[in-house]
Structure 1
């Protein structure tokens, strides 16, 4: 199932894959997914975006 609804993404299925810029940036399953909240998911996403930004910034400098 593909959805942009974060509640559905967390509640339905046994695996959550998040894409950004056409690439997989998060792949969450098992106990980690069961304990996931929207706030935790957004924190993971934002932290991953910051990591990518820092890596890109270093590569381009």
Structure 2
């Protein structure tokens, strides 16, 4: 489920940046960070794991 969420986040970022992969990557990371900060029970290590997973998904879909 988290992979689907992250994949959709990246796809939405691609649409928002008119397909610019570099900008979409940055936008997806910003959106993910904003979402994770709102989740008050997450530790920094967990946030880093989500970022790593998002970057992995981006790499696999570039």
TM-score of the aligned structures, taking structure 2 as reference length: 0.46
Task: Kindly indicate whether structure 1 or structure 2 has the higher relative contact order, using CA contacts under 8 Å at least 6 residues apart.
Answer: 2
Counting strand residues as a fraction of each chain, which structure ranks higher? 1
TM-score of the aligned structures, taking structure 1 as reference length: 0.47
Counting helix residues as a fraction of each chain, which structure ranks higher? 2
